[in-house]
Copies of this chain bind each other. A is one copy, B any other.
Amino acid sequence: MAEATLQSQTRADEAFDCLQTAIVTGELGPGEKIGELELCSRFNLTRGPLREALGRLESRGLLVRRPHAGVKVVSVSASELLELYRIREVMEGLAARQAAERMTDEEISELQATLDSHEAMIEEAQGQAYYQAEGDYDFHHRIATGSRNAKLAQMLLGDLYYMVRMYRYRLSTSAGRPHLALGEHRRIVEAIAHRDGELAEFLMKRHINAARQNIEKKIEEGVLTI
C-alpha cells in the first residue's frame, strides 16, 4: 500500500502523492473504477483533500471523471502510448539541446557518474529490468532539469513521465536493449559535454525514436498487450 514517504505540507498534497504513486506503480490499474469513500479509507483521508487531489490528477490526464458517475484510472491504448513517444522525441530533443547550452560542468559530471552507476547495475543485475528503468528515468530527469526551461521540465516531469512510467512498470521500456540504450546515453552526454546542442538534440531524438520502435515491434509481435 502506497503511502506518502515524506510528510507532505498539506493533506491534499499527501493525497495527491499517494494516488499518483498508486497509479504509476499499478496498484490502481488502468481502467479501474474507484470510489471516493474506498480511497478515503485506503489512504486515511477525508473527502475534501481527496477531491482536490482528484481534480489535479484529472487535469494531468491520469484520471477521467464523469460527473456523478465516479472516477477511473485512465487507460492508454497502444497507439496512444506510441503518440506519447512522438511528443517525448521533440520535447526531450529540445531539453537535450538546452541542457548542452546551460548545464553546469558539475551537473555534467554528475550525469556521467549516473551513467557509470547505471552501467554497474546492468553488469551485476543482468535481468532486473526495474532498476534499469529507474536508471533510465534518472538520466532523462537530469537532462530535463538541466535545460533550465522551467515549463519544459514541468511538462516532462509532471505530465509525460508519469504516464510513461505507468507502463514502464509492466513492459520495462528498454528491456532487451540495455547496453544499446546505455551507449546512446553515453553519446548524448558526450555531445552535452562538448556543448554541442545541435548534436545532443539529434542523438536524443534518435534515442527516443529507437525506444518507440522497440515498443512498436513488441506490440506487433504480440509480446505485450496493452
Residues in A lying within 8 Å of B, measured CB to CB? 9-10, 12, 48, 51-53, 55-56, 58-61, 67, 80, 83-84, 86-87, 89-91, 93-94, 98, 149-152, 154-155, 158-160, 163
Contacts and interface: CB of A to CB of B under 8 A. Distances in A.
Per assembly, the copies of the chain total: 2
A52 B59 CA distance: 11
B48 A87 contact: no
Interface centre among A59, A60, A155 (most CB of B within 10 A): A59
Contacts of A150: 80, 83
A60 B163 CA distance: 16
Nearest to A56: B59
Instruction: Tell me the interface secondary structure of chain A in the complex.
Output: helix
A151 B81 CA distance: 10
A129 B168 CA distance: 47
A93 to B, nearest CB: 7
A80 B48 CA distance: 34
A97 to B, nearest CB: 9
A13 B150 CA distance: 27
Given A151-B61, A155-B155, A94 B84 contact: no
Nearest to A149: B83
A174 to B, nearest CB: 21
Given A55-B56, A56-B59, A151 B94 contact: no
